[in-house]
């Protein structure tokens, strides 16, 4: 199976953990090293997958179909089937969290945006839990979700955060819509879309208004030993963690602090903070449920077919402005909020 392997924990964070020479963090260091080693071999496969024809789902359109597997601490997919659509809870926390998270993501796409699963054609949603031993990541591999249990020192189980589940599954939505190249600004937009729809799934599930939400991605992943609340923050990029071991969250909020780097496919997990913050600003300016106003605009932008695979920030900003004008009217409050948000983060004049 070809793997696209969009993972929730960015390479710069895994690099830092893998380099630890403190005996107290030896298991975490080994776990991060294994997670890093799995990233490199799939880069070419990802490039090939982006050029391949998009495959559609085989499930009945409009019908939610979930299947959860247990890898049993092996790194073999999919593993043993433990729960199918309509089955009762298994009692395995990770399996049941994955089942619920897939359903919440499907519900947002279906009930709010009228899309049948991530591909628009009812694709079955698959997940594997208990992948590997102390595996420090969760990822979308082009066909299904995969969740590690964490090392227990820095990271706990990766199904504990709904935003992790919905973030990774949104990579599938992007794969079946814009198919944004995972490099530079288009790659950062790819990551940002997953963060945006990831938090929208959580906010909708909790019934939160935009001004009451945490806007955090990966909240609850870190153990109590870490000085940090999450992996990323759309509200305040660069503030999600500040830890003696992990360092400080490197995300910029504006183009003034854009990071030029050759690592992490051109900083896709870092510079995504800029479009993330633009969405936060637009959503909170409009108020109310973020999945309604700004969420509809971003969804329209993604599915209307006008986003090139190598889209940069200014092109995406203009596309969201056009989408806002089409849905809500030129000069509307919504259109002005989107325009103001991109200007505030320095992407547009």
Q: Which residues have a catalytic role annotated?
A: 168, 269
In degrees rounded to 5, what are phi and psi of residue 6?
-85, 115
Q: Quick count: other Cβ atoms within 10 Å of Cβ 123? A: 22
Q: Where are the alpha helices (DSSP H) in 108-177?
A: 113, 162-175
In degrees rounded to 5, what are phi and psi of residue 342?
-65, -30
As separate numbers, helices (DSSP H) first and strands (DSSP E) second, the chain gives 12, 10
Report the run of H or E that residue 125 belongs to, with start and end: strand 125-129
Report the run of H or E that residue 216 belongs to, with start and end: strand 216-217
Q: Which residue from 84, 215, 83, 73 is spatially nearest to 134, judged by alpha carbons?
A: 73
Report the run of H or E that residue 101 belongs to, with start and end: helix 93-107
Q: HSE-up of 199 (CA within 13 Å, CB side)?
A: 32
């Amino acid at each position: 199976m070809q793997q696209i392997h969009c993972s929730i924990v960015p390479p710069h964070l895994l690099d830092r953990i893998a380099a630890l020479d403190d005996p107290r963090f030896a298991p975490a260091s080994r776990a991060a090293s294994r997670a890093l080693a799995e990233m490199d071999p799939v880069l070419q496969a990802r490039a090939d997958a982006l050029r391949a024809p998009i495959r559609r789902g085989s499930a009945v359109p409009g019908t939610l179909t979930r299947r959860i597997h247990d890898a049993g601490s092996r790194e073999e997919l999919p593993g043993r089937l433990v729960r199918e659509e309509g089955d009762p809870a298994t009692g395995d926390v990770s399996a049941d969290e994955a089942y619920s998270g897939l359903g919440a993501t499907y519900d947002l796409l279906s009930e709010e945006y009228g899309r049948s699963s991530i591909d628009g054609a009812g694709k079955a949603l698959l997940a594997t839990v208990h992948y590997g031993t102390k595996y420090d990541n969760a990822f979308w591999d082009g066909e299904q979700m995969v969740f590690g249990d964490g090392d227990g020192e820095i990271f706990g189980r990766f199904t504990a955060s709904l935003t992790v589940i919905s973030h990774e599954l949104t990579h599938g939505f992007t794969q079946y819509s814009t198919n944004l190249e995972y490099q530079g600004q288009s790659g950062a937009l790819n990551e940002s879309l997953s963060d945006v729809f990831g938090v929208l799934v959580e906010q909708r599930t909790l019934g939160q208004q935009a001004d009451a939400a945490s806007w955090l991605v990966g909240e609850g992943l870190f153990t109590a030993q870490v000085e940090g609340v999450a992996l990323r923050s759309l509200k305040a990029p660069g503030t999600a963690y500040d830890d003696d071991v992990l360092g400080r969250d490197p995300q910029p909020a504006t183009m003034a602090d854009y990071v030029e780097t050759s690592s992490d496919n051109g900083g896709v997990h870092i510079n995504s903070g800029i479009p993330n913050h633009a969405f936060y600003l637009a959503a909170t300016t409009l108020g109310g449920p973020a999945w309604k106003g700004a969420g509809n605009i971003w969804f329209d932008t993604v599915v209307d077919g006008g986003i090139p695979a190598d889209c940069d920030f200014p092109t995406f900003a203009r596309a969201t402005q056009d989408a806002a004008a089409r849905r809500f009217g030129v000069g509307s409050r919504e259109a002005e909020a989107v325009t103001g948000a991109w200007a505030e983060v320095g992407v547009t004049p």
